[in-house]
C-alpha cells in the first residue's frame, strides 16, 4: 500500500518516534561531510521526487531538495503557475499523470482539500509540505530539535502564543502522539481549529486554552511563535491589531521556565510576533530548527518509501 505523509494524525506514535530517531542518527552520521555529499548509505537511490509549490517557500523547497539528493535520489521543483494545473487541469488528472513519471510528490498548496484530492488519485507517496490546515514536516523538525536539546518529550510543557494557525494544528495533532502538554494562548478571534483541539483532547493529550499569553507561557519549557499573517490570509490589518498583544518578548519569556527555549518555524517578522531580542537571543533554537527540516524530511522520505 502507498504510504503518504499527510498529517501527524495518520502516523503511529511508534513510526513518528522512529522517524525522529532516524533523523538524529543520519544527522550524526553526516558529521564532517559537505552538504552536497551523498549519504554514506544512500537509501533512496533512483527515486525521483516532484515538488509542487502553489505558494512561496525557502526552507521546505531547499531542505526537501537537499534531502532527496543526500539520499541518492533526484528532484524536480514545479510551480502550479507553470503547470496546466494553473490553467484549470484537474488535480485528479495531474495526480494520475505524475504517478506515471515520478516516484513521489511533495506538495505545498493553499487548500488542504487539494492535497487530499491529489493523494486520493495518486498511486505514489504524497507528502504535505504545508496547507492552510497543517504543516506536519515542520512539527517533526521542531520535536527533533526539542529532543536534541531537552531529551524526553513527554515531560515537556509547550506553549503556543499568537495565531491558532496551521502550524498550531500540527502541534495539536502531535501532542497525544508524543505525550507533551500544550498550552495555547490565542485571542478568541484567531483561536486554533476546534476539530484539532477536540482531536487532541479526545486522544488523551493535556491541552489548555487561554486568551492570556502570560498564562499560556507560565512554567513552559518551550515557547513557540509564528507569523500573525499566514500565506493566503486576507485580513492582515485586523490580524496585526488583534494579535499585537501576543508578541513574544523578553518580559513574556520571563514567565516561562528559566531554561525555556524559543521556537519559530520561520520566516519571522521581528517586532510583530517576536522581538529581535528573543529570536536572536540565547534561548532561541530557530536555526537548529530550520536545519532539522533537512534531517527529519530525509527520514519522512524513507518512511514513505519503506526504507526506515
Ligand atoms: N518553515 C517553513 O516551512 O518555511 P518556508 O515557508 O520557507 O518553506
Ligand atoms: N503559518 C505560516 C507558516 C509558514 C511556514 C504560513 O502558513 O504562512
Catalytic residue among 226, 239, 247, 264: 226
Q: Does the annotation count 138 as an active-site position? A: yes
Q: Is 135 a catalytic residue?
A: yes
Question: What CA–CA distances, in Å, run from 15 to 5, 6, 91, 136, 257?
Answer: 11, 14, 29, 14, 30
> For residues 103-122, b (16+ Cβ closer than 10 Å) or e, as one string?
bbbbbbbeebebbbbbbebb
Distance 134 CA to ligand 1 centre (A): 12
Per the listing, cell 537511490 goes with: 45
149 catalytic residue (yes or no): no
265 lines ligand 2 (CB under 6 A): yes
Tens digits of per-residue pLDDT, 201-224?
999 999 999 999 999 999 999 999
Q: Is 279 close to ligand 1, i.e. is its CB under 6 Å away? A: no
Closest atom of ligand 1 relative to the 137 alpha carbon: 3
Residue 1 confidence (pLDDT): 87
3-state secondary structure of 119: helix
Torsion of CA 225, 59, 99, 72, to 10 degrees: -130
Can you list the residues of the chain whose pLDDT is less than 50? none
Rounded alpha-carbon distances, angstroms, from residue 37 to 33, 47, 52, 307: 6, 17, 25, 20
The CB of 244 under 6 Å from ligand 1? The reply is no
Q: Active-site residue 226, yes or no?
A: yes
The CATH fold assigned to 138-289 is Rossmann fold (3.40.50)
Cell 531529551 appears where? Answer: 151
Residue given cell 506514535 in the structure block:
13
Cβ–Cβ < 8 Å for 184, 210: yes
Q: How far is the CA of 129 from the centre of ligand 1 (A)?
A: 9
What does the buried/exposed string (b/e) look like for 158-194 if buried means 16 or more CB atoms within 10 Å of the residue's CB? bbbbbbbbbbbbbbbbbbbbbbbbbbbbbbeebebbe
Cis amide prior to 267 (ω within 30 degrees): yes
Q: What is the pLDDT of residues 158-184, one digit of tens each?
A: 999 999 999 999 999 999 999 999 999
Q: What distance in Å separates the CA atoms of residue 91 and residue 247, rounded to the nearest whole number?
A: 39
Q: CB 251: neighbour CB atoms within 10 A?
A: 11
Nearest CA to ligand 2 atom 1: 230
Domain 8-135+293-304 and domain 138-289 have a common topology: yes
What size, in residues, is the chain? 308
Ranges of each domain in the chain: 8-135+293-304, 138-289
Task: Give 8-135+293-304's CATH code, choosing from 3.40.50.1370, 3.80.10.10, 3.40.1190.10, 3.30.413.10.
Answer: 3.40.50.1370
Amino acid at each position: 500500500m502507498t504510504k503518504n505523509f499527510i498529517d501527524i494524525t495518520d502516523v503511529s506514535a511508534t513510526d513518528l518516534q522512529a522517524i525522529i530517531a532516524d533523523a538524529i542518527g543520519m544527522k550524526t552520521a553526516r558529521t564532517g561531510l559537505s552538504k552536497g555529499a551523498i549519504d554514506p548509505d544512500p537509501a533512496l537511490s533512483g527515486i525521483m521526487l516532484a515538488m509542487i509549490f502553489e505558494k512561496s517557500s525557502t526552507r521546505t523547497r531547499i531542505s526537501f531538495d537537499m534531502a532527496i539528493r543526500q539520499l541518492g535520489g533526484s528532484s524536480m521543483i514545479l510551480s502550479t503557475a507553470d503547470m496546466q494545473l494553473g490553467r484549470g487541469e484537474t488535480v485528479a488528472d495531474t495526480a494520475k499523470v505524475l504517478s506515471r513519471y515520478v516516484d513521489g510528490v511533495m506538495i505545498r498548496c493553499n487548500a488542504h482539500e487539494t492535497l487530499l484530492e491529489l493523494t486520493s488519485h495518486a498511486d505514489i507517496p504524497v507528502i504535505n509540505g504545508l496547507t492552510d490546515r497543517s504543516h506536519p514536516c515542520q512539527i517533526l523538525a521542531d520535536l527533533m530539535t526539542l529532543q536534541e536539546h531537552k531529551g524526553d518529550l513527554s515531560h515537556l510543557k509547550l506553549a503556543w502564543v499568537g495565531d491558532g494557525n496551521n502550524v498550531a494544528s500540527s502541534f495539536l495533532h502531535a501532542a497525544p502522539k508524543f505525550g507533551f502538554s500544550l498550552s495555547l494562548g490565542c485571542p478568541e478571534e484567531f483561536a486554533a481549529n476546534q476539530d484539532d483541539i477536540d482531536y487532541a483532547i479526545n486522544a488523551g493529550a493535556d491541552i489548555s486554552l487561554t486568551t492570556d499569553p502570560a498564562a499560556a507561557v507560565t512554567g513552559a519549557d518551550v515557547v513557540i511563535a509564528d507569523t500573525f499573517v499566514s500565506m493566503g490570509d486576507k485580513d492582515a490589518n485586523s490580524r496585526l491589531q488583534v494579535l499585537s498583544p501576543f508578541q513574544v518578548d523578553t518580559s513574556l519569556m520571563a514567565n516561562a521556565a528559566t531554561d525555556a527555549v524559543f521556537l519559530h518555524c520561520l520566516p519571522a517578522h521581528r517586532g510583530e510576533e517576536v522581538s529581535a531580542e528573543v529570536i536572536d537571543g540565547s534561548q532561541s533554537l530557530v536555526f537548529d530548527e530550520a536545519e532539522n527540516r533537512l534531517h527529519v524530511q530525509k527520514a519522512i522520505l524513507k518512511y514513505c518509501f519503506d526504507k526506515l
